[in-house]
Amino acid sequence: MRIALCGGTGDIGEGLALRWAYDTGHDLIIGSRDPEKARTKAEEYGTELESRGTETTIKGFENAMAADRADVVVLAVPPYHIRDTVEAIADRLDSDTVLVSPAVGMKRDDAGLHYNRPSAGSVTEMVAEVAPEGVPVVGAFHSLSAGKLANLDIELDEDTLLVGEDEDALDIVHLLAEGICGLRSLSAGSLENAAEVESLTPLLINLASHNDDLHGVGVTFE
Amino acid sequence: MRIALCGGTGDIGEGLALRWAYDTGHDLIIGSRDPEKARTKAEEYGTELESRGTETTIKGFENAMAADRADVVVLAVPPYHIRDTVEAIADRLDSDTVLVSPAVGMKRDDAGLHYNRPSAGSVTEMVAEVAPEGVPVVGAFHSLSAGKLANLDIELDEDTLLVGEDEDALDIVHLLAEGICGLRSLSAGSLENAAEVESLTPLLINLASHNDDLHGVGVTFE
């Protein structure tokens, strides 16, 4: 599978790229608004993986080039860059491209982080609103700690929740998620359920700050 | 410790009453608007516990009588009865009574259940608004499946999240929570963080409906 990580130079993009490169045989493309930055980061990831005995061909491109001919495009960008990023890659997307949204809007006050619900209902629904018609959207990977993902010494043992409506697209993202060792993917229903899924992210960050030994905490459902 | 469960005839009240009676030595009082119903349910719980070899003295009273002289009052009532219930018991509460809120507001649509955020920010914050001044409020037990709690054959292995500002009150509720075998309590910060905690409940119910073997699903953070 060919996976493009738009904004793949950021922390969650790095974590997902390293895990997929290390645990699976998928082709990975790092996207950025700045192609030079994308190339530099792709090389960094390659060096890290080679030091662990994994040969890779991770390449870096400007976002639209990265998304070109990708089977799956992950929007690993902050919520306020979603619209720009989707517009920039729109003509590379079609009904065979799965658009994956891991982003969460949050705001901070004295008590900690809070879910900042966009007018679309959730960031995932915002992606569905701005995506070209017919492009399937799946929300996933919201509750993963970027730092923990990017540290390949840490064994994962947690769940990720998927929302979406296109069954084929959901199957692909379940497969991608479970390709990462120690990650289990569960269905949380349709896009309308994304707000509760995205709300987990500030909750996890608050738990990490209020409990010893819960740095980079993940969530398991059973 | 003397624990009053206002609305203790309902499903979450039943689950908490049975677990505390079975796993701890706390005194339990079942409260209801209807004292006869409270007495009947208290007897039912007693019979269930006796069948398992646990002698108890669970008693049932009208809510205000139940709350009288309790160390902890659990508001095991739906969100739309919070205000009435707190008003009915207000003159039995003081700064030594811990008021515990496990309730969550939800609404259903075709996609499933959704968090229905009250204007106070969360049900827990609504409780704090209507509680007499100086009475400490703690949000807890939102993510527990009532059915699983009430079935003493099921071993628990999950977490509950606490929010609140009064350290002494939080210590008491941590102690009560961890008195239930298989339940771990974690701090989620102050009352302003209650919305993300309460949002877990519709998420868990949606997960139960979308995944095999997740009936009565709980949550663990690690």
In this prediction, residue B119 carries a pLDDT of 96
Is the Cβ pair A221, B219 closer than 8 Å?
yes
Q: Which residue of B has its CA nearest to A199?
A: B196
Residues with Cβ within 8 Å of residue A23, at least 6 apart in sequence? A179, A180, A181
- Of A158, A192, A203, nearest to B197 by CB-CB distance is A203
CA atoms in the 13 A half-sphere facing the CB of A138:
30
Write b or e for each residue in A5-42: b if 16 or more Cβ atoms lie within 10 A of its Cβ, otherwise e: bbbbbbebbbbbbbbbbbbbebbbbbbbbebeebbebb
In this prediction, residue B182 carries a pLDDT of 98
Is the Cβ pair B193, A112 closer than 8 Å?
yes
Show residues of chain B in contact with A164, CB under 8 Å: none
Query: What is the least distance, in Å, from the CA of A61 to any CA of chain B?
Result: 36
Taken in order B30, B33, B35, B40, is the CA torsion positive or negative? Answer: negative
| Alpha carbon distance A106, A87 (integer Å) | 23
How many residues does the structure list for chain A? 222
Is the Cβ pair A186, B214 closer than 8 Å?
yes
Show residues of chain B in contact with A221, CB under 8 Å: 204, 207, 214, 217-220
Query: What is the least distance, in Å, from the CA of A189 to any CA of chain B?
Result: 6
Show residues of chain B in contact with A199, CB under 8 Å: 115, 195-196, 199-200, 203
In this prediction, residue B148 carries a pLDDT of 96
- Any chain A CB within 8 A of the CB of B187? yes
pLDDT (average), residues A110-123: 96
Size of interface A-B (CB pairs under 8 A): 124
Among left, alpha and beta (phi > 0; psi -120 to 50; other), residue A131 is beta
Structural contact between residues B13 and B78, judged by C-beta atoms closer than 8 angstroms: no
For B55-89, the pLDDT digits (tens) are 998 999 999 999 999 999 999 999 999 999 999 99
C-alpha to C-alpha distances, B146 to A90, A167, A219, B16, B210, nearest whole angstrom:
46, 32, 21, 8, 19
Structural contact between residues A98 and A5, judged by C-beta atoms closer than 8 angstroms: no
CA atoms in the 13 A half-sphere facing the CB of B136:
20
Among B11, B48, B49, B56, CA closest to B29: B56
Among A118, A199, A193, CA closest to B107: A193
pLDDT (average), residues A72-95: 97
B57 burial via Cβ count (<10 Å: 0-12, 13-18, 19+) = exposed
For residue B202, the one-letter residue type is P
Count the neighbouring beta carbons within 10 Å of the beta carbon of residue B169: 22
For B145-191, the pLDDT digits (tens) are 999 999 999 999 999 999 999 999 999 999 999 999 999 999 999 99
- Any chain A CB within 8 A of the CB of B204? yes
- Any chain B CB within 8 A of the CB of A123? no
- Any chain A CB within 8 A of the CB of B107? no
In this prediction, residue B208 carries a pLDDT of 96
pLDDT (average), residues A159-172: 98
- Average pLDDT value over all residues in chain A: 97
Query: What is the least distance, in Å, from the CA of A123 to any CA of chain B?
Result: 16
Show residues of chain B in contact with A111, CB under 8 Å: 189-193
| E-state strands within chain B | 2-6, 27-32, 59-62, 72-75, 98-101, 106-109, 112-115, 137-139, 158-164, 183-187, 219-221
pLDDT band at residue B26, thresholds of 50, 70 and 90?
Answer: very high
pLDDT (average), residues A78-103: 97
For A59-82, the pLDDT digits (tens) are 999 999 999 999 999 999 999 999
**CA dihedral defined by B184, B154, B212, A187, rounded to 10 degrees?**
-10
Q: What is the ipTM of this complex?
A: 0.93
For A173-213, the pLDDT digits (tens) are 999 999 999 999 999 999 999 999 999 999 999 999 999 99
- Any chain A CB within 8 A of the CB of B114? yes
Show residues of chain A in contact with B220, CB under 8 Å: 219-222
Is the Cβ pair B221, A219 closer than 8 Å?
yes
pLDDT band at residue A221, thresholds of 50, 70 and 90?
Answer: very high
Our separate counts of H helices and E strands in chain A read: 9, 11
pLDDT (average), residues B26-40: 98
Query: What is the least distance, in Å, from the CA of B130 to any CA of chain A?
Result: 21
Give the Cα-Cα-Cα angle B208, B212, B213 (nearest 5 degrees). 80
Structural contact between residues B34 and B11, judged by C-beta atoms closer than 8 angstroms: no
In this prediction, residue A185 carries a pLDDT of 98
Residue with tokens 């239930």: B180
- Any chain B CB within 8 A of the CB of A155? no
Is the Cβ pair B111, A199 closer than 8 Å?
no
- Any chain B CB within 8 A of the CB of A204? yes
CATH superfamily of A2-210: NAD(P)-binding Rossmann-like Domain (3.40.50.720)
- Of A111, A209, A217, nearest to B222 by CB-CB distance is A217
Which DSSP helix (H) or strand (E) runs through A88? Answer: helix A82-89
Which DSSP helix (H) or strand (E) runs through A114? Answer: strand A112-115
**Cα separation of the two ends of chain B:** 30
| Alpha carbon distance B198, B84 (integer Å) | 21
- Any chain A CB within 8 A of the CB of B193? yes
Q: Which residue of A has its CA nearest to B148?
A: A222
Show residues of chain A in contact with B198, CB under 8 Å: none
- DSSP state at residue B156: P
